[in-house]
Amino acid sequence: MTFLRSICVLVLLFAGVALAQVQTEKPPIALTTEQEARFKALLPNLRCLVCQNESLADSQAPLAQDLRYEIRGLLAQGDSDFQVKKYLTDRYGEFILYRPAVELKTYLLWFGPLLLLVIGLVTLYRFTRRRQNAAAAPAVDQAALRKLLDDDAG
Amino acid sequence: MRYAIPVVVLLGLLALFINGLQHDPRELPSPLIGKIAPAFSLPMLNGDAKQHVTPDDLKGKPVLVNFFASWCAGCQEEHAYLLQLAGSGQAQIVGIDYKDALDDGRNWLQRRGNPYAQVLVDLDGNTGIDWGVYGVPETFVLDAQGKIIFKHIGPMTPQAWERDVRPKLQAAS
């Protein structure tokens, strides 16, 4: 995580030295306190697509800055959280959401681990059952065993 | 025989992981494939600032839309190949100069040659956002009706062209 982040920072530093990307001056967008709170709550759940292990809240990539600005604009015009997420997934796909929606095509993603757990438990159960049966299987002549043990001790 | 199932499971997982390793996690599938290209109205790099180009102007025949910038290293990498593609008439390419200083963009094309039929300017990057661009260069294949049929992320290479782009372009022609 830190390693990846430092690589991202390095890449951005080099990008800044060698090549100048234009950041156009945009007027700041004022939000109500309620909108500002929703803005703050949304960002950590959105992935920066340039530095994929950072959220839009953390990333200093130019695209992340642009997207933060767009999101502020959407919130200011009264969009709901759902509308903001739809705006982003319409353009960048589900990958931008750290928590993808639970729907048919993401069932495996959401419930796959549970499925693996169930398969594991069933296998474990059957395995131990088989071992118990195998251990119990040979009929032991108790009298002969006793005799054998006694002889040994004596 | 009693090891058959674990071995099969292990091999299956191994195949899954090897397959996964061959995917570049930076290449994200675009939700725009199969949809009409998002609207824009952009000025041309070398033209009247008042005259704008929209996706409607690109309709009529299949076209490549290439997001590039003078500050982008991958764009230098693919530039010679784009010149070759355009020069041999294999593709008509429309360039969108993404978040670039106008003079930088002009100088860059003058110095390296211009593979583009038209060069549009996306100064603030808003068209890039609408098209889901997250790292230039990115190349979209549009059919004659202006529908996005493919997107290539990263520098265009002869391999990518032969394998992915050319077949799509031909199917659309």
- Which candidate from A26, A66, A91 shows the least CB-CB separation from B132? A91
Neighbours of B20 (CB within 10 A): 9
Which helix or strand (DSSP H or E) is residue A122 part of? helix A107-136
Q: What is the pLDDT of residue B143?
A: 94
Q: Using one digit for the tens of pLDDT, what is the confidence trace for B76-133?
A: 999 999 999 999 999 999 999 999 999 999 999 999 999 999 999 999 999 999 999 9
Question: Which two structure tokens, joined as six digits, stand for B84?
Answer: 């070759």
| Cβ distance of B100 and A67 shorter than 8 Å | no
Judge: domain A28-101, CATH 1.10.8.640.
yes
B33 touches chain A (CB under 8 A): no
Distance CA A59, CA A36 (A): 18
- Which candidate from A18, A22, A26 shows the least CB-CB separation from B99? A22
| Cβ distance of B71 and A15 shorter than 8 Å | yes
Contacts of B34 (CB under 8 A, 6+ apart): B147, B148, B149
- Which candidate from A62, A91, A95 shows the least CB-CB separation from B130? A91
- Which candidate from A18, A50, A91 shows the least CB-CB separation from B129? A91
Distance CA B170, CA B173 (A): 5
Q: What is the pLDDT of residue A134?
A: 76
* Chain A (72-111) residues lying within 8 Å, Cβ to Cβ, of chain B: 89-95
Q: CB-based burial of residue B47 (10 Å sphere; 0-12 exposed, 13-18 middle, 19+ buried)?
A: middle
Neighbours of A90 (CB within 10 A): 14
A15 touches chain B (CB under 8 A): yes
- Which candidate from A15, A21, A63 shows the least CB-CB separation from B134? A63
B129 touches chain A (CB under 8 A): yes
Max intra-chain CA distance, chain A: 99
Q: What is the pLDDT of residue B132?
A: 94
Q: What is the pLDDT of residue A2?
A: 55
ipTM score of complex: 0.84
Contacts of B60 (CB under 8 A, 6+ apart): B144
Distance from CA of A88 to the nearest CA of B (A): 9
Residue bearing the bigger pLDDT, B143 or A10: B143
Distance from CA of B61 to the nearest CA of A (A): 24
Size of interface A-B (CB pairs under 8 A): 64
Show pLDDT as tens, one digit a residue, over chain A (154 residues): 455 566 555 555 455 444 567 777 788 888 999 999 999 999 999 999 888 789 999 998 999 999 999 999 999 999 999 999 999 999 999 889 998 888 888 888 899 999 999 999 999 999 899 888 877 666 777 888 888 888 877 5
Question: HSE-up of B76 (CA within 13 Å, CB side)?
Answer: 8
Rounded to an integer, the average pLDDT of B61-65 is 94
Neighbours of A74 (CB within 10 A): 21
B99 touches chain A (CB under 8 A): yes
Q: Using one digit for the tens of pLDDT, what is the confidence trace for B5-48?
A: 889 989 999 999 998 888 877 788 899 999 999 999 999 998 77
Domain boundaries, chain A: 28-101, 106-154
**Spatial contact of B100 and B167, defined as CB atoms under 8 Å apart:** no
Amino acid at B30: S
- Looking at B22-136, list the stretches that DSSP marks H as alpha helix, in order from N- to C-terminal side: 73-87, 102-112, 126-130
| Cβ distance of B71 and A70 shorter than 8 Å | no
Kindly state the DSSP code that residue B147 receives in the 8-state scheme: B
**Spatial contact of B116 and B98, defined as CB atoms under 8 Å apart:** no
